[in-house]
């Protein structure tokens, strides 16, 4: 099974993020979810983003990479998959593009231009981007354009858009939660991990 590293969003390692990790664990995968906020969680996205700015985005990115450096080789088969929720996409995407052990990336609610972390997306790392089609944070902030650029240049990339305008729709502990969309996304994530496991 896959060795999954999951990075939380700006509101912290919430109960909903933990529940998502538990779903992956129940499917047989090994999941590590670094807490980049040292136990802090926030009720609103604005509060969480203010905390992230206080820490500094570069430091959060560095802390995410450092957290992975402390991990072992998992099952030893080199099938590490990086998962990021929104703000957590930054360390997940950087590691997916730069870690030789990376064998997959699941980027939820956000996507940065590939050029942020390298010249091109690595051929051996399949990637999925998931977001709502009317989420202004994804559509208006350039994430959708960056994801479409990825699709145009990367054969092992997929973009899944879900009807709706909420941002953190997978987190069952937040008001943005959309049960139907979250269930569809989770099914696609589990299928992706099963395919990685077969490689």
Rounded Cα gap, residues 144 and 131, in angstroms: 9
Give me the mean pLDDT over the 135-145 stretch.
97
The token pair that represents 7 in the structure block: 């990075």
Rounded Cα gap, residues 65 and 139, in angstroms: 27
Residue 105 has pLDDT above 90, yes or no: yes
Give me the mean pLDDT over the 183-190 stretch.
98
End-to-end CA, the chain: 10
What phi and psi values does residue 108 have, to the nearest 5 degrees?
-110, 125
Banded model confidence at residue 45, pLDDT cuts 50, 70, 90: very high
Specify whether domain 3-198 bears CATH 3.40.50.1820.
yes
Banded model confidence at residue 73, pLDDT cuts 50, 70, 90: low
| Domain spans, the chain | 3-198
Residue 77 has pLDDT above 80, yes or no: no
Please report, rounded to a whole number, the percentage of residues in the chain having pLDDT higher than 70: 96
b/e per residue, 143-171, with b = 16+ CB within 10 A?
Answer: bbebbebbeeebeebebbbbebebbbbbb
Banded model confidence at residue 19, pLDDT cuts 50, 70, 90: very high
The structure's pTM equals 0.95
């Amino acid at each position: 099974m896959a060795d999954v590293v999951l990075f939380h969003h700006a509101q912290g390692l919430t109960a909903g993020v933990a529940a998502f990790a538990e779903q992956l664990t129940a499917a047989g995968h090994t999941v590590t979810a670094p807490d980049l906020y040292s136990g802090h969680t926030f009720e609103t996205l604005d509060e969480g983003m203010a905390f992230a700015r206080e820490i500094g985005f570069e430091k959060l990115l560095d802390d995410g990479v450092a957290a992975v450096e402390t991990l072992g080789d998992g099952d030893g088969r080199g099938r590490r998959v990086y998962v990021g929720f929104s703000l957590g996409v930054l360390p997940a995407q950087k590691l997916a593009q730069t870690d030789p052990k990376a064998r997959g990336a699941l980027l939820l609610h956000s996507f940065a231009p590939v050029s942020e972390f390298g010249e091109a997306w690595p051929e051996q790392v399949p990637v999925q981007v998931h977001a709502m089609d009317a989420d202004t944070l994804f559509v208006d902030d350039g994430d959708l354009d960056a994801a479409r650029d990825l699709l145009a240049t990367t054969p092992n990339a997929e973009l899944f858009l879900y009807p709706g305008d909420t941002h953190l729709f997978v987190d069952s502990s937040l008001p943005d939660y959309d049960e139907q969309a979250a269930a569809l996304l989770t099914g696609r994530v589990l299928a992706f991990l099963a395919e990685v496991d077969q490689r």
